[in-house]
Amino acid sequence: MSTPRVAEVTRNTNETQIRVLLNLDGTGQQKLNTGVPFLDHMLDQIARHGLIDLDIEARGDLHIDAHHTVEDTGITLGQAFARALGDKKGVRRYGHAYVPLDEALSRVVVDFSGRPGLHFNVPFTRAMIGGFDVDLTREFFQGFVNHAQVTLHIDNLRGDNAHHQCETVFKAFGRALRMAAELDPRAAGTIPSTKGSL
Q: Which stretch binds Mn ion (CB under 5 A): 1-9, 55-63, 106-114, 159-167?
A: 159-167
160: three-class secondary structure by DSSP: coil
CB of 42 to Mn ion, least distance (A): 8
CB of 33 to Mn ion, least distance (A): 18
Q: How far is the CB of 73 from Mn ion (least distance, A)?
A: 18
Q: For Mn ion, which is the closer residue by CB, 122 or 150?
A: 122
Residues 167-186, one symbol each (x = binds Mn ion by CB under 5 A, - = not), give: x-------------------
User: Which secondary-structure segment (H or E) carries 32?
Assistant: strand 30-33
| Alpha-carbon span 85 to 88, nearest angstrom | 6
* 164 CB-contact burial (10 Å; exposed 0-12 / middle 13-18 / buried 19+): buried
Q: Please tell me the distance from the alpha carbon of residue 194 to that of residue 196, in angstroms, as a whole number.
A: 5
User: How many residues are recorded in the chain?
Assistant: 198
> Are 47 and 174 contacting, i.e. CB atoms less than 8 angstroms apart?
yes
Tell me, by CB under 5 A, how many residues bind Mn ion.
Answer: 1
Q: Collapsing DSSP states into helix, strand and coil, what is residue 172?
A: helix
For the bound state, the minimum distance from the C-beta of residue 41 to Mn ion, rounded and expressed in Å, comes to 6
What CA–CA distance (Å, rounded) separates 67 from 73?
10
Tell me the closest approach of the beta carbon of residue 167 to Mn ion, in angstroms: 5
> Nearer Cβ to Mn ion, position 53 or 167?
167
Nearer to Mn ion, 111 or 167 (CB): 167
Three-state SS at 93: coil
DSSP 189: T
> CB under 5 A: which stretch of 24-32, 120-128, 160-168, 176-184 binds Mn ion?
160-168
For Mn ion, the closer CB: 25 or 44: 44
Query: Which residues contact Mn ion by CB under 5 A?
Result: 167
